[in-house]
Structure 1
Amino acid sequence: MKIYLYRKLILSLLLLVVSSSLVSAQEEQDIETKIDQILSQLTLEEKVKLCHAQSKFSVPGVARLGIPELWMSDGPHGVRAEISWDSWKHAGWTNDSCTAFPALTALASTFNPALSREFGVAIGEEARYRHKDVLLGPGVNIYRTPLNGRNFEYMGEDPFLASTMVVPYIHGVQQNKVAACVKHYALNNQEVLRNEIDVVVDKRALHEIYLPAFKAAVVQGKVWSIMGAYNKYEGVYCCENKSLNIDILKRKWGFDGVVISDWAAAHSTKGSALYGLDIEMGTGTNGLTTSVANSYDSYYLATPLLKMLQNGQIEESVVNDKARRVLRLMMRTTMVPNRPYGSKGSKAHFDVARKVAEEGMILLRNQNNTLPIDEKSNIKIAVIGQNAVKKMTLGGGSSELKAIHEISPLQGIKDAFPEATVTHTFGYTAGETVYDVLTYPKENQDSLAMVAINQAKEADMVIFVGGLNKNYQQDCENGDRTGYNLPYNQDQLIENIANVNSNVVVVLVSGNAVAMPWRSDVKAIVQAWYSGSETGSALGNILSGKVNPSGKLPITFPKQLDDSPAHTFGKQGYPGIAKKVYYKEGILVGYRWFDTKKIDPLYCFGYGLSYTNFKMDKIHSDRKSYDKEDVITVKGEIENTGKVSGSEVIQVYVEDVKSSVLKPLQELKGFKKIKLNPLEKKTFQIKIPVSSLNYYDADNEKWVVESGRYRLRVGTSSRDIIKNIYVEVK
Structure 2
Amino acid sequence: MTKNLTRTIAGTLFGLALAVGCGAPDSRTAEAVYLDETQPLEKRIDDALGRMTLKEKIAMLHAQSKFSSAGVPRLGIPELWCTDGPHGIRPEVYWNRWDQAEWTNDSCTAYPALTCLAATWNPEMSALYGKSIGEEARYREKDVLLGPGVNIYRTPLNGRNFEYMGEDPYLASRMVVPYIQGVQENGVAACVKHFALNNQESYRLCTDVSVDDRALHEIYLPAFKAAVQEGGAWSIMGAYNKYKGQHCCHNRYLLNDILKRDWGFDGAVISDWGGTHDTKEAVEYGLDLEFGTWSDGMSTNPAIAYDQYYLAAPYREMIERGEASEELLDDKVRRVLRLNFRTAMNSRKPFGSLNSPEHHAAARRIAGEGIVLLKNDGKVLPIDPQQTKKLLVVGENAIKGMTIGGGSSSLKVQREYTPLEGIVAAAGDRMEVVYERGYLGHLATSYNGVDSKQNLSDDRSAAELIADAVAAAREADAVLFIGGLNKAWGQDAEGGDRREMGLPYGQDSLIEALAEANPRTAVVFVSGNAVAMPWIDRVPAVVQGWFGGSQAGLALADVLFGEVNPSGKLPFTFPRRLEDNSAHALGEHPGTRDSVRYREGIFVGYRWHERQRIAPLFAFGHGLSYTTFDYANVRADRKTLSRSGRIRVSVDVTNTGDRAGKEVVQLYIGDRESALPRPVKELKGFSKVSLEPGETRTVSFEITPEALQYYDDAKGLWTAEEGIFDAWVGAASDDIRGSVEFTLK
Asked if these proteins are the same fold (TM beyond 0.5), I'd say yes
Structure 1 range deviating more: 45-54 or 693-702: 693-702
Partner of 2:282: 272
Question: 1:523 is matched by which residue type in structure 2?
Answer: P
Deviations 1:685-711 (A, max 9, x none): 112322121111112211101111000
> For residue 692 of structure 1, what is the amino acid of its counterpart?
A
CA contact (8 A) 1:591 1:718 kept: yes
Q: Secondary structure at the match of 1:365?
A: strand
Q: Which residue of 1 aligns with 2:696?
A: 681
Calculate the aligned-residue CA RMSD, in Å.
1.8
Question: What CA distance in whole angstroms lies between the structure 2 residues aligned with 1:131 and 1:446?
Answer: 51
Tell me the alpha carbon deviations over residues 589-638 of structure 1, each in whole angstroms, 9 at most, x when there is no partner.
Answer: 00000011100100000000011111121211121101122222111211
Alignment of 1:290-689 (within 5 A): 294-375=304-385, 379-418=389-428, 419-432=430-443, 444-570=461-587, 573-577=588-592, 579-689=594-704
Number of the residue aligned with 2:23:
none
- 1:264-301: CA deviations, max 9, x gaps? 00000000011000000001269xxxx99741111000
- 2:167 is matched by which residue type in structure 1? E
Give the equivalent residue in structure 2 for 1:34.
Answer: 44
**Number of the residue aligned with 1:3:** none
**Contact kept? 2:236, 2:270, Cα under 8 Å:** yes
Q: What secondary structure does 1:341 align onto?
A: coil
Secondary structure of 2:209's partner? strand
Contact 2:369 2:566 in 1 (8 A): yes
Query: What letter corresponds to residue 562 of structure 1 in structure 2?
Result: E
Per the alignment, residue 152 of structure 1 pairs with 162
Tell me the residue number matched to 2:737. 722
The residue type equivalent to 2:201 in the other structure is E
1:318 is aligned with what amino acid?
A: L
Q: CA deviation at 1:378?
A: 5.2
Moved more, 26-35 or 147-156: 26-35
Q: CA 1:100–1:361 in 2, change beyond 3 Å: closer, same or farther?
A: same
- In the TM superposition, what is the alpha-carbon distance from 1:425 to its structure 2 partner? 1.3
Q: Is the 8 A contact 1:640 1:646 kept in 2?
A: yes
* Residue pair 2:274, 2:295 contacting (<8 A) in 1 also: no
Q: What letter is aligned with 1:71?
A: W
Task: Give the superposition deviation at 1:453.
Answer: 1.3
The alpha-carbon distance between structure 1 residues 292 and 128, as it changes in their structure 2 partners (threshold 3 A), is closer
Distance 2:480 2:647 in 1: 46
292-301 vs 680-689, which moves further: 292-301
Amino acid at match of 2:382: P
- Distance between the aligned counterparts of 1:305 and 1:171, measured in 2? 34
Query: Partners of 2:647 and 2:309 in 1: how far apart?
Result: 52
Q: Distance in 2 between matches of 1:578 and 1:263?
A: 19
**SS in structure 1 at match of 2:657:** coil
Post-superposition shift, 1:370? 2.7
* Within-5 A mapping of 1:677-716: 677-716=692-731
User: Given residue 268 of structure 2, which amino acid in structure 1 is its aligned partner?
Assistant: V
Structure 1 match to 2:7: none
Match of 1:248 in 2: 258
Give the direction of change, closer, same or farther, for the CA distance of 1:442–1:584 in structure 2 (3 Å limit): farther
Q: Distance in 2 between matches of 1:539 and 1:451?
A: 25
| Residues 148 and 189 in structure 1, CA contact (< 8 A), matched pair in contact too | yes
Aligned counterparts of 1:142 and 1:603: Cα–Cα separation in 2? 18
Structure 1 residues 177 and 442 mapped into 2: Cα distance closer, same or farther (>3 Å)? farther
Q: 1:89 aligns with which of 69, 94, 99?
A: 99
Offset of 1:643 from its aligned partner? 0.5
* Offset of residue 368 of structure 1: 4.0
Q: Distance in 2 between matches of 1:461 and 1:370?
A: 7
Unpaired segments of 5 or more residues in structure 1? 1-25
The DSSP-based 3-state class of the residue aligned with 1:716 is: strand
Partners of 2:674 and 2:477 in 1: how far apart?
56
Give the Cα separation in 2 of the matches to 1:729 and 1:480. 44
Structure 2: stretches of 5+ with no match in the other structure: 1-35, 449-455
Q: Separation in 1 of the partners of 2:586 and 2:619?
A: 21
Which of 145, 159, 162 is the equivalent residue of 1:135? Answer: 145
C-alpha distance after superposition, 1:462-507 (max 9, x if no partner): 1000000001100000011001100000001100111111110100
Secondary structure, counterpart of 2:701 in structure 1: strand
Larger mean CA deviation between 679-688 and 705-714 belongs to 679-688
**Cα distance in structure 2, aligned partners of 1:689 and 1:191:** 37
Report the Cα distance in structure 1 between the residues aligned to 2:159 and 2:581, rounded to whole angstroms.
Answer: 16
Say yes or no: does 1:180 pair with 2:190.
yes
CA distance in 2, matches of 1:726, 1:89: 58
Q: 1:531 to 1:258 in 2, by over 3 A?
A: same
Asked whether the 8 Å contact 2:267–2:339 carries over to 1, the reply is: yes
Q: Deviations over 1:39-61 (max 9, x none)?
A: 11100011011100000000011
Take 1:150 and 1:704, find their aligned partners in 2: how far apart are those partners?
A: 33
1:656 counterpart letter in structure 2:
D
State the shift of 1:376 in Å: 5.3
% identical aligned pairs: 54
CA contact (8 A) 1:475 1:512 kept: yes
User: How far apart are the structure 2 equivalents of 1:649 and 1:614?
Assistant: 10
Higher mean C-alpha deviation, range 470-479 or range 573-582:
573-582
Paired with 2:240 and 2:648, the residues of 1 have a C-alpha distance of 41
**Shift in Å at residue 644 of structure 1?**
0.5
Q: Which residue of 2 aligns with 1:23?
A: none
Distance 1:426 1:464 in 2: 10
CA distance in 2, matches of 1:40, 1:32: 12
Seen in structure 2, the aligned counterparts of structure 1 residues 441 and 585 have a Cα distance that, compared at 3 Å, is: farther
Question: What's the CA shift string for 1:647-693, capped at 9, x where partnerless?
Answer: 11110111000111100011000010000001111112112322121
Aligned length: 697
Residues 394 and 438 of structure 2 are in contact (CA less than 8 Å); yes or no, is this contact kept in structure 1? yes
Aligned to 1:74: 84
CA distance in 1, matches of 2:506, 2:442: 13
Q: Matches of 1:553 and 1:132 in 2, distance apart?
A: 32
Conserved in 1, the CA contact under 8 Å of 2:91 and 2:106? yes
Cα 1:378–1:692 shift into 2, 3 Å: closer
| Contact 1:375/1:416, CA 8 A, preserved across alignment | no
Tell me the SS of whatever aligns to 1:357: helix
SS of 2:566's partner is: coil
In the superposition, relative to structure 1, how do residues 561 and 285 fare at CA in structure 2: closer, same or farther (>3 Å)? closer
The answer to whether the Cα contact below 8 Å between 1:285 and 1:295 also exists between their aligned partners in 2 is: no
- 1: distance between equivalents of 2:528 and 2:668? 25
CA distance in 2 between partners of 1:528 and 1:138 (Å): 20
Residue 236 of structure 1: aligned partner: 246
| Cα drift, residue 351 of structure 1 | 1.1
Q: Distance in 1 between matches of 2:489 and 2:75?
A: 45
CA distance in 2, matches of 1:252, 1:27: 29
Question: What is the correspondence of 1:88-237 to structure 2 with a 5 Å cutoff?
Answer: 88-237=98-247
